[in-house]
Amino acid sequence: MKLEEHTAFSAAISGGLYSVTRSWELAFACLMSGIFIDLDHIIDYLIEYGWPFNVKKFFRVCYEGRLQKAILILHGWEWVCFLFIFAWLTGWDPWITGVLIGFSHHIVLDSFSNGVHQWSYFLLWRWKNNFVHKASFPGFAPQQKSER
Ligand SMILES: [Zn+2]
Ligand 1 geometric centre to CA of 112 (Å): 11
Ligand 1 geometric centre to CA of 122 (Å): 13
Ligand 1 geometric centre to CA of 93 (Å): 24
pLDDT at 148 over 50: no
Q: Provide the pLDDT for residue 147.
A: 40
Q: Which residues contact 78 (CB under 8 A, 6 or more apart)?
A: 122, 123, 124
Ligand 1 geometric centre to CA of 91 (Å): 28
Whether 24 is covered by a domain: the verdict is: yes
Q: Provide the pLDDT for residue 8.
A: 95
The pair phi, psi for residue 74, each rounded to 5°, is -90, -15
Whether 145 is covered by a domain: the verdict is: no
Radius of gyration of the chain from its Cα atoms, rounded to whole angstroms: 16
Ligand 1 geometric centre to CA of 22 (Å): 27
Pick the more confident residue, 116 or 129. 129
Q: Provide the pLDDT for residue 62.
A: 85
As for how many domains the chain has, the answer is: 1
Ligand 1 geometric centre to CA of 5 (Å): 10
Ligand 1 geometric centre to CA of 77 (Å): 12
pTM of the entire predicted model: 0.87
CA angle 1, 7, 122 (to 5 degrees): 45
Whether 109 is covered by a domain: the verdict is: yes
Cα separation, 109 vs 59, whole angstroms: 18
pLDDT tens-digit readout, 95-110? 999 999 999 999 999 9
pLDDT tens-digit readout, 119-142? 889 999 999 999 998 888 887 777
Ligand 1 geometric centre to CA of 3 (Å): 8
pLDDT tens-digit readout, 31-77? 999 999 999 999 999 999 998 889 999 999 888 888 889 999 999 99
pLDDT tens-digit readout, 18-43? 999 999 999 999 999 999 999 999 99
Whether 99 is covered by a domain: the verdict is: yes
Which stretches of the chain are DSSP H helices? 3-21, 24-36, 40-49, 55-63, 77-89, 94-113, 123-128, 133-136
Ligand 1 geometric centre to CA of 116 (Å): 12
Pick the more confident residue, 136 or 94. 94
Structural domain of 62:
3-136
109-113 own/partner pairs: CB under 8 Å, 24+ apart: 109/1, 109/5, 109/6, 109/9, 110/1, 110/75, 113/1, 113/5, 113/141
